Amino acid sequence: MIIYGTNSKNLGSRKLQGVKCPNCEATEIHAQAVSSYVTVFWIPIFPYRKKYSTVCKNCTQVLKKKEMPQSLKDKLAMEKGHFKTPFYLFSGLIILALLITLAFYLSGQHDKRLAENVGNLQSKDIVVFKVAHKEYSFAEIETHSNDTIYMRYGNYTYDGYKPSESKVEKLKASETDFFSTEIDFFTQKQLDSLYAKGEIAEIYKKK
């Protein structure tokens, strides 16, 4: 369950010079601003609104922006730049941007490593083929001779998200005939083509 909501942050106050209170004509008019922001799990995500008001320190009259005379609105407009939104109110967006950047980086590193492994298959390596959406098959490398890779196909497929290495090991342990006894082969060029088409999802190297 995602807990989300809103909150607000007082951005402080600032005395407005050269204006009088429309109620008591005192010159002790202070502008104040409040920033409203969205939260998820109490973490600030982004600010979405600033509300401005003025308060007279003499008669305590508080005016919202729509209640102010034009002269007060004009003076307030000149002072808005002094009410800065705290950087931390963008924390959620910053975290999200960092996570997206990290995801792209890790995906790139995975693709680079997978491409290297496709070209360097060794005995007992396990190839995970993507058969269809959320469907995978397996093959275990038997030997690698020149440009030909010999392997034994799996007798079982797996439905779901791409299985982890530990999941594949559990599947192997649960079935004595997990891999066929028959030997098939691919040329390196054929395997490179399968990888380019996205049909090789993963290679788990022998440890």
How would residue 146 be classed by pLDDT, with cut points 50, 70 and 90?
Answer: confident
Phi, psi at 171, each rounded to 5° = -65, -45
Give the mean pLDDT of 149-168. Answer: 94
Under the banding of pLDDT at 50, 70 and 90, the label for residue 145 is confident
Give the chain's end-to-end CA distance (angstroms, integer). 39
Across residues 56-82, what is the average pLDDT?
92
pLDDT in tens, 8-31: 999 999 999 989 999 999 999 999
Which is it for the CA torsion 147, 153, 157, 161, positive or negative? negative
* Whole-number pLDDT of residue 9: 95
Q: Is the pLDDT of residue 207 over 90?
A: no
**pLDDT of 49 over the 90 cut:** yes
Phi then psi for residue 2, to 5 deg, are -95, 125
Q: Tell me what percent of the residues of the chain surpass a pLDDT of 70.
A: 100
Q: So what's the pLDDT on residue 102?
A: 96
Percent of the chain with pLDDT over 90: 90
What's the confidence (pLDDT) of residue 126? 96
* Helix ranges (DSSP H) in 119-186: 165-174
What was the pLDDT predicted at 138? 97
Is the pLDDT score of 2 beyond 80?
A: no
Domains of the chain by residue range: 4-94, 118-204
At 113 the pLDDT is 94
Confidence check: pLDDT of 106 > 90: yes
Mean pLDDT, the chain, as a whole number? 93
- pLDDT, position 100: 96
The alpha carbon torsion through 120, 126, 130, 134 (nearest 10 deg) reads -140
From 141, 1, 13, 20, select the one nearest 79 (Cα to Cα). 13
